[in-house]
Amino acid sequence: MSVTLPSLNLADWVQTRDAIHQYARIMGKIRGFYMPKAKHWWHITLTVNTHGLTTTPFPVNGRNLEMQLDLTSHQLSIYSDSGWHCSIPLKGNSAAGMRQQITQLLATQGIDLDEQPLSAFDDENILTYAADAADDFRRALSWIDVVFRTFRGSLRQETSPVQLFPHHLDIAMNWFSGRLVSGVDPNDEENADEQMNFGFVSGDASIDEAYFYVTAYPMPENWSTLALPEGAYWHSEGWIGAILPYARLLEANDPQVMLLEFLQQVQGHGAALMNSRS
């Protein structure tokens, strides 16, 4: 069944997006500091849920905590395995204020967070936060998460979880060919695996609108020769990847079919090129 997706025109909600980005970064820094290390930096990521974004449970000083960026009630909520929980409003807050409130509230429960991961969050300027825009983003993320999981389920080889990287606020997943990159130390977990990356970002310095992307590492010869579906294109300024603007989905009769066909077509192209050089 087709869905009606929110527009996500960045100019209309960029300040709210930036506020969500700051709050997500705070959560990611805390999770990344305490969560046991995982390959490819997967220990720093957040997961989409029905209310927004969650850290999933992570250990802190003998306790398990979970933090949720709730874009329905517009609060950052903290849950403890003891049954305790608290919530902090997103509207009318600052990065420094959020850091201080999280630290102080956890201290009341005997949980003293290390200051190191949060030291950079010292900006006391109040962040602009519009609830309607945040909920639109939540609905888009929830839909994209399901489509990416559907795509992931069609792939035979190893894949990463579908997850959100707070530093760029992109929801993404990796596909691995199963081959090591020639000339790279096989113990270099970040660079040794031949792979493709599939993601979505709401707009950034390279492309000022919401878009889906596919990149390949190492980039194979003839990577950008594939004829892409109408509306998609190859980006080549600063980095090379296949791009499908999110706005194209708003015009589609079935956005899920359009997105899946884009992902599957580019993945098949990249996998074939990688296989040909093995």
Q: Per-residue pLDDT tens for 98-117?
A: 999 999 999 999 999 999 99
Looking at the fold, whether 144 and 103 belong to one and the same domain comes out as no
Looking at the fold, whether 136 and 270 belong to one and the same domain comes out as yes
What pLDDT, on a 0 to 100 scale, did the predictor assign at position 2? 63
Q: Give mean pLDDT, residues 44-66.
A: 97
What confidence tens digit (pLDDT) does each residue in 210-248 have? 999 999 999 999 999 999 999 999 999 999 999 999 999
Binning pLDDT at 50, 70 and 90, where does residue 37 land? very high
What confidence tens digit (pLDDT) does each residue in 199-218 have? 999 999 999 999 999 999 99
User: What is the average pLDDT score of the chain?
Assistant: 96
pLDDT of 275 > 90? The answer is: no
Looking at the fold, whether 104 and 155 belong to one and the same domain comes out as no
Q: Give mean pLDDT, residues 46-55.
A: 98
What pLDDT, on a 0 to 100 scale, did the predictor assign at position 278? 58
Choosing from 93, 118, 143, the residue where a domain stops is 118
Looking at the fold, whether 160 and 250 belong to one and the same domain comes out as yes
Choosing from 60, 95, 118, the residue where a domain stops is 118
Looking at the fold, whether 193 and 171 belong to one and the same domain comes out as yes
The CA distance from 206 to 134, in Å, is 23
Choosing from 118, 148, 177, the residue where a domain stops is 118
The answer to whether residue 37 sits within a structural domain is yes
Number of domains in the chain: 2
- Integer angstrom CA distances of residue 9 from 5, 6, 36, 222, 260: 12, 9, 37, 33, 22
SS3 76: strand
The answer to whether residue 4 sits within a structural domain is no
Looking at the fold, whether 150 and 217 belong to one and the same domain comes out as yes
